Amino acid sequence: MGKIVEINPTTRHEGHTKLVLKIDDEGIVEKGAYLSVTPVRGFEKFLVGKPAEFAPLAVMRFCGICQAAHGISSAEAIEDACNITPPKDGLLLRELLGIGNKMHSHPLHQFLISPDFVPEKDKSEFIKRVQAMRKVGQYICDVVGGEAIHPPNIMIGGMAKNITESVKSKIYYKCKEYEKLAKEQIDYLIPIFENKTLVDGTELPEKLGYHDFGYIATHPTYGDRTKIDQDNVVEYTPFDVYDRDVAIQASTTIPTLNGRLAEVGPRARFNKFFDFKEKGAMAIHVARAYEMIVHVKRALEIIDELNVNGKTLSDEPVIGDGEKIGLGVHEAARGHNTHQASIDKNGRITYYNAIVATTWNIPLIGKAIEGSHYKFAEHVVRAYDPCVSCATHMIVKDYDNKTVDEKFIQ
């Protein structure tokens, strides 16, 4: 007879989550639920009534890893709501900042999974390579964003300032260094991932992490709001999806596109833009590794295109009509990241909502675990590189406007 297994906490990713797995007598997962247990912080609610300019600064505090992605999505949502068009060079700098963030984040994830795949004899060189790549990504975020953590140069209307010719040259040479390191990293990691064997010799199931859901990605490196029909995106509460005893513990919504879950992230982007058809958890690692080259090549293109004397910030007023809901879309390291905002005639926020990358992947991870032994469940979780603080923005209320937690406690 089957039983319930809980893995709490899951490890080697950002944030606090747990797995609740219904397994059969052989330990095979029949029904999986992956949920965030990070406390709700209520960003979207406390932004209402604040000046629009406060939003990009505030939402970057969702997280210390994905900060640039949220700042960019927020600024673009408000620009859409207020019909503001940033200058070309401001948009190029934004894209470069977002790429720098991903160039830093992907090697960090590879470090987190290294205990699973990298033998002791290789660890020193592996870690040196990871750190060298992260330093390049961090440098780009520092000089383009103003600082790497919560970059203040992201502003509504573009970017606060341009970079100098000297900095542009330094970024170029650092990107060439990164490109060399990334190729070495790919040559090392891809055979390991394709072998589907852990460092201790354990073979991973051939179909570990398989699922039949679709993918969302709007751009290979940046984001494009015209490529997603937000009217077909619907968020459900955990009580609509999970069993009641599981749902009461969860703190994220469950978003769907056209009524179905969807995967976002490196594999989704490769599927959409590079005809990558591989399935399973290990294919996500493969796509993430190859994506490092996509990012650095695009960074080099931007450096070539950028005019360091060009205008970077629009002077259009940050004023809306209080009704139009603007949409900002950015392809974060972990995938399709959207912010929505409405701004009134006084430049204050009347509505705000964020559906971040990991919010999409959390319910899908539970499904992707089904069909394999529960001892491999965390390997599926880690493949998605969840950033759970980013995804925690929900409080559920019943029809009497009481929070669900209080209702069940009473």
Reported as a single tens digit per residue, the pLDDT across 85-101 is 999 999 999 999 999 99
In 3D space, the residue among 16, 17, 22 whose CA is nearest the CA of residue 1 turns out to be 22
Q: Is the pLDDT of residue 305 over 80?
A: yes
Query: How far apart, in Å, are the Cα atoms of 99 and each of 103, 225, 311, 338?
Result: 6, 18, 21, 17
pTM, two decimals, is 0.94
Q: Is the pLDDT of residue 168 over 80?
A: yes
In contact, 71 and 325? CB cutoff 8 Å: no
Rounded-to-integer distance, Cα 355 and Cα 252, Å: 10
- Helix H or strand E segment including 63: none
Percent of the chain with pLDDT over 90: 88
The pLDDT value recorded for residue 298 is 98
Q: Residue 112: which pLDDT band, with cuts at 50, 70 and 90?
A: very high
The pLDDT value recorded for residue 40 is 78
Rounded-to-integer distance, Cα 286 and Cα 55, Å: 35
Q: What is the pLDDT of residues 17-74, one digit of tens each?
A: 999 999 999 999 999 999 998 877 788 999 999 999 999 999 999 888 889 999 999 9
Q: What is the pLDDT of residues 175-219, one digit of tens each?
A: 999 999 999 999 999 999 999 999 999 999 999 999 999 999 999
Q: Residue 399: which pLDDT band, with cuts at 50, 70 and 90?
A: low
The pLDDT value recorded for residue 403 is 56
Residues contacting 292, CB < 8 A, separation 6+: 103, 106, 107, 133, 178, 182, 185, 186
The pLDDT value recorded for residue 408 is 34
Q: Residue 402: which pLDDT band, with cuts at 50, 70 and 90?
A: low
In contact, 320 and 344? CB cutoff 8 Å: yes
Q: Residue 395: which pLDDT band, with cuts at 50, 70 and 90?
A: low
Rounded-to-integer distance, Cα 265 and Cα 263, Å: 7
Q: What is the pLDDT of residues 135-162, one digit of tens each?
A: 999 999 999 999 998 999 999 999 999 9
Rounded-to-integer distance, Cα 149 and Cα 65, Å: 8
Residues contacting 231, CB < 8 A, separation 6+: none
The pLDDT value recorded for residue 42 is 84
Rounded-to-integer distance, Cα 145 and Cα 152, Å: 6
Q: What is the pLDDT of residues 360-394, one digit of tens each?
A: 999 999 999 999 999 999 999 999 999 988 887 65
Q: How many C-beta neighbours within 10 Å does residue 274 have?
A: 13
In contact, 246 and 237? CB cutoff 8 Å: no
| Long-range contacts from 171-176, C-beta under 8 angstroms, 24+ separation | 171/96, 171/139, 171/140, 171/143, 171/144, 171/299, 171/303, 172/300, 172/303, 174/136, 174/139, 174/140, 175/136, 175/296, 175/299, 175/300, 175/303, 176/300
In contact, 110 and 289? CB cutoff 8 Å: yes
SS3 call for 268: helix
Query: How far apart, in Å, are the Cα atoms of 389 and each of 14, 74, 199, 392, 396?
Result: 7, 17, 30, 6, 17
